[in-house]
Structure 1
Amino acid sequence: MTDSSTPDNNGTRIATDTVRFERLLPGPIETVWAWLTESDKRALWLAGGALPGREGEYFQLNFRHASLSPKKAPVPEHLCAMENGVSTTHCLLQFNPPYLLQMSWGENAEEAPSEVTIELKAEGDQVRLILTHCLLSHRVLASVAGGWHAHLAIMTDKFAGVIPPSFWPLYETAEKNYRQRFNESLDTND
């Protein structure tokens, strides 16, 4: 399966503070929705944690990057604080099953939170996942893009029945790629 937006599955910088990814996944749409909203399934590719019952409520995502693949690799030195996992706080902004999930991102970070919107669209027996992450500072854009790239690659592999690579090398390669691509395509100092 390939991403129709770019031949290499890269995310696209669509504004100075926004990156977008598209993936075509096997359907039905309810299955993909479950992988976004059910904690046990989401923990297989991103992070576990129950979603709240209503929009405007806060929740925790529990990232355990080492558990995303049986293949192991060391945590990069500058991210060693994440070695045993990390929990982050988010706010549910929009919830329209099985088409739209929007949440804040980085509620417990030093800067203002950003927003993640995930849209699902049925296309025959497949589902187009469109993930848009906006309100990102230039300082974190490549890192966030690298993280989503790695997490979505793991999700795609798991949907295809393939054992994914270890998260950390995948993330480091993707982050480096986005730093180069974004600095070449749009030079900002925000």
Structure 2
Amino acid sequence: MIVDLGSYVQVGGRPAVRFERLLPAPIERVWAAVTDPEQLPAWFPSQVRYEPRVGGEITFLGDPNLPEPPQVDRVLAWDPPHRFAFGWGGDEIHLELSRTEAGCRLVLLNVLVSADTAARNATGWYGCLGELDKVLQGIPSDGPHSQPLADFWPLHDAHVAAGLPHGAWIPDEVLAARPS
């Protein structure tokens, strides 16, 4: 069963997808997993290098869905261990952490350039957050691009059925994996 698909929201008049996860790990552990460039590839779709300060440069490498050469953007928020935000190809990614009695609450907000990317991006983030959960549980992860391409479609269709805007570009190899 698919649960917690995330939600479609507006942020400052821009479309966005928002996910919230309650994680049974200390905030410091989650902060390391979402900010340490050595840990990010286990769950985030790119290798990341950045200057840990507002306005610092952030570089993305190795994402098969980003054009080469490496993409460069800026850190938008840096408040350890609570907030990390950055630009990403016109989008913004905001990660907010807060302590809970059982561990940590993580909110991932992807502010979008275009509303029609909502279902596609939400599908991707759903998979990424599943990989993050594995990392925090100590389960080996081959990263978010290790999932079978056909697994994309049931989630994407569930996002569309939930009312998320859709119609954005999807990589050819993912399109080819759509069940008939």
The equivalent position to 2:9 in structure 1, one of 10, 14, 32, is 14
The Cα of 1:163 is off from its aligned counterpart by 5.1
Structure-to-structure mapping, 1:2-151, within 5 angstroms: 8-15=3-10, 17-46=15-44, 47-63=46-62, 82=65, 87-106=70-89, 113-151=90-128
Aligned to 2:171: none
Q: How far apart are the structure 1 equivalents of 2:139 and 2:53?
A: 35
3-state DSSP of counterpart to 2:42: coil
The equivalent position to 1:177 in structure 2, one of 118, 142, 158, is 158
3-state DSSP of counterpart to 1:61: strand
Runs of 5+ consecutive residues of structure 2 not aligned to the other structure: 167-180
The Cα of 1:51 is off from its aligned counterpart by 1.9
- Per-residue displacement from partner, 1:68-94 (whole Å, max 9, x unpaired)? xxxxxxxxxxxxx649x9843331011
Aligned to 2:176: none
Which 10-residue stretch deviates more, 152-161 or 39-48? 152-161
- Per-residue displacement from partner, 1:8-58 (whole Å, max 9, x unpaired)? 121111237111101111221111101111111111111322221431122
Q: How far apart are the structure 2 equivalents of 1:169 and 1:123?
A: 35
Q: How far apart are the structure 2 equivalents of 1:87 and 1:154?
A: 23
The Cα of 1:154 is off from its aligned counterpart by 1.1
3-state DSSP of counterpart to 1:182: coil
- Per-residue displacement from partner, 1:114-152 (whole Å, max 9, x unpaired)? 211110011024101001112441221111111111111
TM-score (norm 1): 0.70
Does the 8 Å contact 1:119/1:129 carry over to 2? yes
The Cα of 1:172 is off from its aligned counterpart by 3.6
Count the aligned residue pairs. Answer: 156
Q: How far apart are the structure 2 equivalents of 1:164 and 1:41?
A: 10
Q: How far apart are the structure 2 equivalents of 1:27 and 1:86?
A: 36
Runs of 5+ consecutive residues of structure 1 not aligned to the other structure: 1-6, 65-80, 107-112
TM-score (norm 2): 0.74
